[in-house]
Amino acid sequence: MRLFVALALPNDLVERLERMCSGLPGAVWVRPENFHVTMRFLGDVDAVQARDIDAALSAISAPCFELSLTGLGQFGDGRKTRAVWVGVQASPELSALQSRIERAVQTSGLAAESRKFHPHVTLARFSASPGSKLRTFFAQHALFRTMPFQVTQFDLYSSELGKGGPVYRREANYPLT
């Protein structure tokens, strides 16, 4: 199984993000039902590891908190743009939850994440540069910001890669207090 831990987004926010998804040549837009904030990518794990991960995540205790999305960014630059994303407002509660998730995953036997946590919602991926339209897209959405929304749980998802893009399925959810 290919797994990741993420925060789901409220429906009204998904609809707002979906309205942004146009105007960039070469973009492969993320399907709205796949919008999320990745807390930890786990990769391919076997059934035993998956059960251990689930048990470790189930033991996490953390409070509910509010989160906002703000701004746009990209991975890569110039001709090497790989993705466009919406940022997540810095939040001590989000960072604390991510640290707990990271510790839980490590106790279940996975190696530590080598990349710094950079919370975001991916809107599009690219195999070729979107060219000058990228600057226009960023200018059009430069002031993007959401009202805070309540985070009441985090989820474990599986991901199956297919011709039409990945299909994500929620495998478990973990309520916050």
Rounded distance between C-alpha atoms, residue 71 and residue 132, angstroms: 19
Q: Which of 120, 124, 130, 154 is catalytic?
A: 120
Q: Which of 1, 24, 35, 36 is catalytic?
A: 36
Q: Is 141 annotated as catalytic?
A: no
Which positions ≥6 away from 77 have C-beta within 8 Å?
none
Residue 48: how many other CB atoms lie within 10 Å: 10
Q: Is 120 annotated as catalytic?
A: yes
Smallest Cα–Cα separation from 98: which of 115, 117, 111?
117
CB 120 within 8 A of CB 85: yes
CB 18 within 8 A of CB 54: no
Annotated catalytic sites, by residue?
36, 120
